């Protein structure tokens, strides 16, 4: 009997490896139109398989690399722009459970990525640590009282995620239920040095003179601050995992402003602390580390103990693989600017990246977040090509 589905087809990452059946909720099971007439309901699946992204990170045999994009929920999507018009405050959008869930699911509903990342910000925990801040349109993060002295650091309090950011846990729990293992739900945190950079500089910075001045003139003060962030971010990752996150990405965006020797003092030890603490309580939780412009630090990033190193686009994927070794999973690393190119160009760059990454232990992604103004149809093409790949 030949049958054809009445709904658009989409790839099921685990189909070839685990099951040939599709997982649908009972309320949305499609009807199958058969050549002999009549319809039949697609059989209900009682248990969903592990998401493709988790299988790939663990080194299991997968038919293609999983794909998601940093900042896939955000300003390039018209649906997000509509929400921004109604709720202009970023903090309101990122601290309201319903809005966080809605925004996080926007790219999932349109593109079906293999990772659904929480809509939030790395600075979200700051209020819970007695560091007032805001994120202002056109200006970015603003720290109202930048930290300069040991006395300032003493005022930074212990972060208790369940008390300070319960909306994060609630949103992750809902996302896990909504996505239903058809993709991995991702959480994220900021790394200690990057968070310290924001709170010492008072916001974004071009030359990082204040944080470096503190590091090189009063290192004990900076180390005290970094320790507080390391302890807090370990707790935050554990909280996210317990709330439903199936993998967590650590962003150390500004660590690459450090020389290798300074990275080894002011970033690496605290990243290792976080990884060690999380692995003690959640040994199977994949941890991804991303640092933009990290070509000079790749081998040191691997020393943190994370499961995945996310490469930016300035590193050749084949070279990154050689430097990191085949045992460590990699993520990336298409230039976000490629999404402004032709569809043929986008396709070629995807194929080049996947070929250089080799089979397995690779998460296809950009080398940085999606840029504002990226054509939404090109993002759709990126996912279409990526999900059509086969090793």
Please report how the helices 343-357 and 317-324 are oriented relative to each other, as an axis angle in degrees rounded to 10. 20
Domain boundary assignment for the chain: 52-388
pLDDT value of position 271: 98
| 356: nearest Cα among 320, 384, 381 | 320
Indicate whether 270 pLDDT > 60: yes
Check residue 32 and give its pLDDT. 36
* pLDDT tens per residue across span 39-87: 333 333 334 589 999 999 999 999 999 999 999 998 899 999 999 999 9
Question: Does the CA dihedral 167-169-170-176 come out positive or negative?
Answer: positive
- Binning pLDDT at 50, 70 and 90, where does residue 36 land? very low
pLDDT single digits (tens) 192-250: 999 999 999 999 999 999 999 999 999 999 999 999 999 999 999 999 999 999 999 99
- Architecture in CATH for domain 52-388: Alpha-Beta Barrel (3.20)
Closest CA to 222 of 122, 148, 144, 125: 148
pTM exceeding the 0.75 threshold for the entire prediction: yes
């Amino acid at each position: 009997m030949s049958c054809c589905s009445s709904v658009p087809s989409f790839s099921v990452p685990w189909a070839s490896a685990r099951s040939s059946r599709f997982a649908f909720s009972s309320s949305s099971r499609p009807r199958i139109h058969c050549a002999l007439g009549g319809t039949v309901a697609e059989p209900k699946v009682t248990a969903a398989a592990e998401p493709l992204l988790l299988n790939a990170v663990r080194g299991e045999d997968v038919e293609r690399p999983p794909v998601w994009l940093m900042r896939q929920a955000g300003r390039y999507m018209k649906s997000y722009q509509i929400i921004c018009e109604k709720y202009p405050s970023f903090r309101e959008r990122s601290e309201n459970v319903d809005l966080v869930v809605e925004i996080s699911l926007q790219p999932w509903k349109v593109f079906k990525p293999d990772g659904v990342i929480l809509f939030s910000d790395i600075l979200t925990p700051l209020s819970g640590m007695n560091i007032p801040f805001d994120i202002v349109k056109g200006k970015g993060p603003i720290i109202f009282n930048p930290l300069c002295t040991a006395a300032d650091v003493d005022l930074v309090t212990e972060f208790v995620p369940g008390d300070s950011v319960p909306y994060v846990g609630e949103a992750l729990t809902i996302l896990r239920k909504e996505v239903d293992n058809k993709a991995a739900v991702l959480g994220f945190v900021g790394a200690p040095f990057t968070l310290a950079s924001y709170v010492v500089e008072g916001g974004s910075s071009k030359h990082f003179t204040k944080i470096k001045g503190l590091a090189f003139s009063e290192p004990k003060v900076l180390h005290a601050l970094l320790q507080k962030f390391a302890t807090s971010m370990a707790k935050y990752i554990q909280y996210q995992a317990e709330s439903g996150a199936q993998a967590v990405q650590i962003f150390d965006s500004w660590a690459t402003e450090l020389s290798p020797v300074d990275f080894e003092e002011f970033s690496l030890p605290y990243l290792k602390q976080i990884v060690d603490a999380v692995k003690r309580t959640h040994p199977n939780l994949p941890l991804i580390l991303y640092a933009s412009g990290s070509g000079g630090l790749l081998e040191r990033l691997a020393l943190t103990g994370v499961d995945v190193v996310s490469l930016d686009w300035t590193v050749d994927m084949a070279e990154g693989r050689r430097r990191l070794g085949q045992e460590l999973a990699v993520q990336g690393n298409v230039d976000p600017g490629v999404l402004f190119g032709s569809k043929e160009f986008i396709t070629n760059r995807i194929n080049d990246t996947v070929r250089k990454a080799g089979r397995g232990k690779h998460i296809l992604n950009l080398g940085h977040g999606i840029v504002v103004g990226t054509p939404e149809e090109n993002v759709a093409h990126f996912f279409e090509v990526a999900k059509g790949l086969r090793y």
